Structure 1
Amino acid sequence: MVRLNIFLLLAVVICSLAVVTSQHKARKIFQALEAEQEHARQLEVEFGQLQLELSTWGTAPRIEKIAREKLKMRAPETGHVITATPTGGLPQ
């Protein structure tokens, strides 16, 4: 009977240590998951900011200003504009 009690006590101690170990691992994994989710949220915010910046840099007035100032471009005069038609001929 004493051997059975010692065996059962040993089994209970081993099972309880296994439970504690698995709970510890689960908490560590959950903490890693939370950290990765926070990182994903930060990346989404940064992506939104980059999209906004991209749309700001690509606006027509800004491009026109750079073309005028840095590239010394100007709009053509109306007499120098030629319109092409889909048939390939010039308009009359």
Structure 2
Amino acid sequence: MRLFLAFLIVANVASAIAVVYARHEHRQLFVSFKSLIRERDELNIDFGRLQLEQATWAESNRIDQVARNRLGMVFPEADETVVVRP
């Protein structure tokens, strides 16, 4: 009888330790999860900013301005245009 009682006490303590370990593991994973969620949100914000910046740099007015000012490009005159047909 004493052996059975000792076994139950050991099993109860082992079960309690397992519960504490599982709860601790859950808390650590939850903290990690929240950190990853925050990082994902920050990356989504950065991605939105980059998309906006890309759209700004790719506007046709901006490209035309850079082509004229920095590269010295101009539209060809009508007599400078050649149409090539197959």
Under TM normalisation by the shorter chain, which class is it?
A: 0.7 to 0.9
TM-score, structure 1 length as denominator? Answer: 0.82
Q: Which position in structure 1 is the counterpart of 2:58?
A: 58
Distance 2:28 2:82 in 1: 70
Structure with the bigger percentage of helix: 2
TM-score, structure 2 length as denominator? Answer: 0.86
Q: Which position in structure 2 is the counterpart of 1:15?
A: 15
Q: Which position in structure 1 is the counterpart of 2:74?
A: 74
Unaligned runs of 5+ in 1: 88-92
Residue by residue over 1:34-58, the C-alpha shift from the partner in whole angstroms, topping out at 9 and shown as x without a partner, is 2112211211121121111111101
Q: CA deviation at 1:7?
A: 2.6
Partner SS for 2:82: coil
Distance 1:59 1:84 in 2: 29
Aligned amino acid, residue 62 of structure 2: R
Aligned amino acid, residue 15 of structure 2: C
Structure 1 position 3 matched with structure 2 position 3: yes
Q: Which position in structure 2 is the counterpart of 1:46?
A: 46
> Following superposition, which runs of at least 4 residues in structure 1 exceed 3 angstroms of deviation?
none
The number of aligned residues is: 86
Unaligned runs of 5+ in 2: none
